[in-house]
Amino acid sequence: MLKWAVVFLLIAIVAGLFDFSDVQAVSATIAQWLFGIFLVLFLGALAIGLFIGKKLTS
């Protein structure tokens, strides 16, 4: 998912260089959403791993 966020970020940058403002705006919005979803899932997995990891080692 992080890979797709980076791909859409690169599309937004290239579209911005060539002054395609609509494509740039849509690509940047998609990249932001995908990065946000990735961040939430990562933090959730990290929290679950820390709580379950403590129970498994004790």
| pLDDT tens by residue, 9-48 | 888 888 888 888 888 888 889 999 999 999 999 999 999 9
Q: Is the dihedral of CA 37, 41, 44, 50 positive or negative?
A: negative
- Residue pair 16/24 in contact (Cβ under 8 Å)? The answer is yes
Under the banding of pLDDT at 50, 70 and 90, the label for residue 53 is confident
Say if residues 13 and 31 touch (Cβ distance below 8 Å): no
